[in-house]
Amino acid sequence: MPTLSLPDLSGGYGTVGIIMIPIGILIATVPGLVLGLIYMIFGFGKQGIVAGSRAAKIQSIMRIVAATSVFAIFQSAAMGGYGAAIVVSAMQAAGVLTAVLGTALAALSAWRP
């Protein structure tokens, strides 16, 4: 009977880390690029929710959208309102975290005790 074991991933962590660093830096320095794609994919437009989009479906399920909900913040951000600062800051923090984690993975893969 074959035994189950975890695959050896020790060689891949460094490569993943090195890829994560520039992606994190890009997200942190140009968050609007990533956010524009997210808004477009989900259907948050400059004029409001795009009819027939994922955002429209979510809104129809929610019925009443609270002003402090994540949905309302994304809608506001896409329209250039108060949510923009919140979402951009969160995206920049995510970018920095991605770059830091990538650096840690790359460093740990190179470290040999």
pLDDT in tens, 36-92: 999 999 999 999 999 999 999 999 998 888 888 999 999 999 999 999 999 999 999
Is residue 54 one of the residues assigned to a domain? yes
Is residue 67 one of the residues assigned to a domain? yes
- Residue 11, pLDDT score: 59
Is residue 2 one of the residues assigned to a domain? no
Is residue 58 one of the residues assigned to a domain? yes
Is residue 53 one of the residues assigned to a domain? yes
Is residue 6 one of the residues assigned to a domain? no
Is residue 113 one of the residues assigned to a domain? no
- Residue 108, pLDDT score: 84
3-state helix, strand, coil in the chain (%, to 5): 65, 5, 30
- Residue 3, pLDDT score: 64
Task: Give residue 76's domain range.
Answer: 15-108
Mean pLDDT of 11-35: 88
Residues 20 and 109: their CA atoms lie apart, in Å, by 14
How many domains does one find in the chain?
Answer: 1
Is residue 35 one of the residues assigned to a domain? yes
The model's confidence at residue 25, banded by pLDDT at 50, 70 and 90, is very high
